[in-house]
Amino acid sequence: MKRRARIAVALAVGVLSLCGCLPSRSDLEAVVFAPSYLDEGWEVSSPEAEGLDPMLVAAMYYSAARLDTIHSLLVVKDGFLVAEDYFGNGSVDRKDRIQSVTKSVTSALVGMAIDQGLIAGETQKMLDFFPEIADQISDSRKTGITIRHLLEMRSGYPWEETDEDLWAGLLSGYYVPLIEAFPLSADPGARFQYSNLSSNWLGIIVSRVSGMSLRGYAQEYLFGPLGIQPGEWGTDAEGHSNGCGDLHLTARDMARFGLLYLHDGEHQGSQVVPAWWVDQSLRTISVNAWDDVGRFRRMGYGLHWWSAEAGEHHVNLAWGHGGQLIALVDELDLVVVTTADPFWLEHSDTSWKHERAQLRLVSEFIASLP
């Protein structure tokens, strides 16, 4: 057996718990993953032409086809779409709820607003943008919370899933009053604590400083230049697009956004997101922010982007509940995208099991690459 076939089979062994079977070489050679839906926005190539072992790609798609909740799997190498397939209810036109991948989009919009001078900078105080509640603050620590604290998930606000009352507040849709109502569980800047509200407040801030809805601002300055046609973007009780989630995009549009960050914020010769913001966003600020998942090790966090190590590779991740992923490997000029059942409002062992399967699938593939 050739070395590349042995490596591909070894990768398949790594995900045996997902499919319960060992693929033969002929099984892998029969896997079809060539992009078959062509449009003017994508140049198509093959794994071989772009330096990827096709057997490793085939092993990933073989395992993906045996997952219960995955909708799509895309691989973009050197700017070319080299592999693509859809599963279950997935399709090239399906706009999935990308869950917390939305946070990475919100981060981009914050950086653009700073670059346009609409926000003075990352150190500007959160309460500057909420004058209607500023004089109601009873915890003086909250006056020191900055835009950057919110982006880093180091504002001191707790993760809403840790308490039923916090979760109910998140679902209420009235977010500005929660700046005062929700207690801090850490000093601002002290430690990483995942906070959906932080992202929602950032979205409201961009809307306020731009005089546009978050969706409208995104359409004019981000989605439009990238040729993205977003689907629904869920709103809160006051009509603000939710900065923490609820944006719907196709898998290809997620790949477009990933490529933008892989290419320092540039798209077709135009600077869409400032290069300095991309650099800041993808730096690891909080180390060991999350437990290892699959082959993703040393999970860290930047400015609404995750980071990890997979094998010998550094990976940046936009990551949403259920298994929505944009994985970037800068040194390989590689983007891997998955969409899946978002398990909307379901946070259980079952949803996490399926989410972990998507993470394991992608991490095993990236870790296998030389």
pLDDT of 246-303, one tens digit each?
Answer: 999 999 999 999 999 999 999 999 999 999 999 999 999 999 999 999 999 999 999 9
In terms of Cα–Cα distance, which of 263, 253, 199 is closest to 230?
253
The number of CA neighbours under 13 Å toward the Cβ of 63 is 27
Q: What is the pLDDT of residue 69?
A: 97
Residues whose CB falls within 8 Å of the CB of residue 206, separated by 6 or more in sequence, listed in order: 106, 109, 110, 113, 118, 119, 214, 217, 243
In this structure, the chain runs to a length of: 370
Distance in angstroms (rounded) separating the CA atoms of residues 88 and 91 = 9
Q: What is the pLDDT of residue 19?
A: 52
3-class DSSP state of 211: coil
* Matching residue, tokens 């603050």: 137
Q: Where are the alpha helices (DSSP H) in the chain?
A: 3-14, 16-19, 25-29, 54-64, 101-115, 131-134, 147-152, 164-172, 178-181, 196-210, 214-218, 224-226, 251-262, 275-282, 349-368
Of 339, 172, 303, nearest to 242 by C-alpha is: 172
Residues with Cβ within 8 Å of 103's Cβ and at least 6 positions away in sequence, in order, are 199, 243, 244, 245, 304, 318
- How far is Cα 100 from Cα 319, in angstroms, rounded to an integer? 6
Q: Could you read off the pLDDT of 38-50 as tens digits, one per residue?
A: 876 899 999 999 9
Supply the DSSP string of 110-174, one letter for each residue.
HHHHHHTTSS--TTSBGGGG-HHHHTT---GGGGG-BHHHHHHT-SSPPPGGG-HHHHHHHHHS-
Chain mean pLDDT for the chain: 94
For 315-348, write each residue's pLDDT tens digit.
999 999 999 999 999 999 999 999 999 999 888 8
Contact between 236 and 242 (Cβ < 8 Å): yes
Tell me which long-range contacts 352-355 makes (C-beta under 8 A, separation of at least 24).
354/67, 354/68, 354/69, 354/322, 354/323, 355/321, 355/322, 355/323
81 membership: H or E segment, kind and range: strand 80-86
| Residue tagged 């998507």 (tokens) | 358
User: What tens digit of pLDDT does each residue of 176-185 get?
Assistant: 999 999 999 9
Q: SS3 of 350, please?
A: helix
Query: Contact 336/313 with Cβ under 8 angstroms?
Result: no
Tell me what percent of the chain is helix, strand and coil, each rounded to the nearest 5: 40, 20, 40
Residue 17 has pLDDT above 50, yes or no: no
Label residue 16 by pLDDT band (50, 70, 90). very low
At position 279, the amino acid (one-letter code) is D
* Amino acid letter, residue 282: L
